[in-house]
Chains A and B, each alone.
Chain A
């Protein structure tokens, strides 16, 4: 089953995604079973109470090579603030006066059960399901302190996530899922989770050795090669086979912040 959260008539609503969604655009309210059309909602992040957002750097061998880095011997993990999250078909902004902002299409594993010191072979028991995120980066802001630093990776709106959370069992094996990114309809990034260096069971074991993982925590597992600069007006679609396709519109900093600009 696919679970989403939307704004409908001014209220947040938990919905499921109908099997016919691709043809009908229908969502079903978890509150009263009402069928709602996608055109009448604003998509929100599918994770109601986001916990810790872990993200992986350089976790695809081909991407590490693209950035001229040796593949890491240990996971390069960084944390993101929940202020970065926004829903499907929402705006993300390009900061003023920068040269290079790129998307990163990533498979996200969402924790469903609390655990510490979880063994690799038990790791999947702690996963609720999966979603897609677009973990944007602004390379101009990189500095060699806690790199990738928060100025690069914890900006408002720059981690769109969704459209939905799909139950783990509906996806099954995640070890060879195709990832693609399209910008304005053009294919710009293509890869497969088969190229992931540290896979989800490894990361659950690794992180839970350090700290307790809790429901709502998320692990964004990194992105394959294929970087491209983004500009206001661009539409980016990050898609992962069997999981979903996440659409984001790029706007200027001024358009995004409006009166607060």
Chain B
């Protein structure tokens, strides 16, 4: 089923987890249709048709005028993880890697964004899965055609890695080969056909993709 050697079951992504974006949107959260800030992590799936790899050419969405990309630190599970505490959460992690979430521009967060987020090949995962002592100390840096467009310290996320693993593990049992992308920059970077996107976590891994024509 999987087009990627790392993710085997599900790829869960966390939206609205960049504290800069989260704080900037407070007034909007109070209005319709949201009528209140989220009290829980805002989650979405990237389904299996979206999974691709380091080096993959990401398809340009049919008929789209514009696309954006965000990169996230991703947690790869090494063992079954069901209802775990924050204190023990990291024990279930095999290692860490990167996810690129290519999508249409995020218009709003009210309804599941199937049209925007479920595009074929739009979720490259990789390149390597690496054990890390403290994932909160990592920073994800993304460049488009060599120019840095985002620099997101994991410590800037509203909810950290251990908290997310714990919370999500009470909703759904995570299996070996399941992946959580813990948070994307609030300002997704615009991309154009043929662009080269590179994300790096220093000393951990790097993920390179090219937009199709």
Contacts and interface: CB of A to CB of B under 8 A. Distances in A.
Nearest to A209: B62
A146 B109 contact: yes
B45 A212 contact: no
B153 interface: no
A81 to B, nearest CB: 5
Nearest to B84: A260
B15 interface: yes
B110 A154 contact: no
B10 A83 contact: yes
Contact of A150 (B1, B35, B43, B120): B43
Interface stretch (A72-80, A98-106, A119-127, A172-180): A72-80
Say what secondary structure dominates the interface of chain B: loop
A147 B50 CA distance: 21
* Residue picked from A49, A147, A210, most chain B C-beta under 10 Å: A210
A93 B49 CA distance: 30
A116 B50 CA distance: 13
Contacts of A216: 1
Say what secondary structure dominates the interface of chain A: loop
Contact of A146 (B47, B111, B120, B171): B111
Interface string A137-151: 000010111111111
Nearest to A53: B47
Interface in B40-76: 40, 42-45, 47-50, 62
B112 A146 contact: yes
Nearest to B9: A82
Contact of A83 (B16, B114, B173): B173
A79 B38 contact: no
A51 interface: yes
Given A52-B48, A261-B83, A210 B109 contact: no
Nearest to B174: A83
A149 B114 contact: no
B84 to A, nearest CB: 9
A146 B172 contact: no
Contact of A149 (B10, B12, B42, B50): B42
A257 interface: yes
Interface in A57-86: 76-79, 81-84
Given A52-B48, A146-B42, A211-B119, A77 B114 contact: yes
Contacts of B15: 145-146
Contacts of B173: 83, 156
Given A83-B172, A145-B109, 6 more contacts: A76-B111, A82-B9, A83-B175, A146-B43, A150-B171, A216-B1
12 contacts: A51-B1, A51-B48, A52-B47, A77-B112, A81-B172, A141-B40, A145-B42, A146-B112, A147-B111, A151-B40, A156-B173, A211-B119
Smallest CB-CB A-B distances: 10 pairs: A52-B47, A150-B43, A78-B112, A145-B42, A83-B172, A79-B45, A144-B34, A211-B118, A77-B114, A146-B112
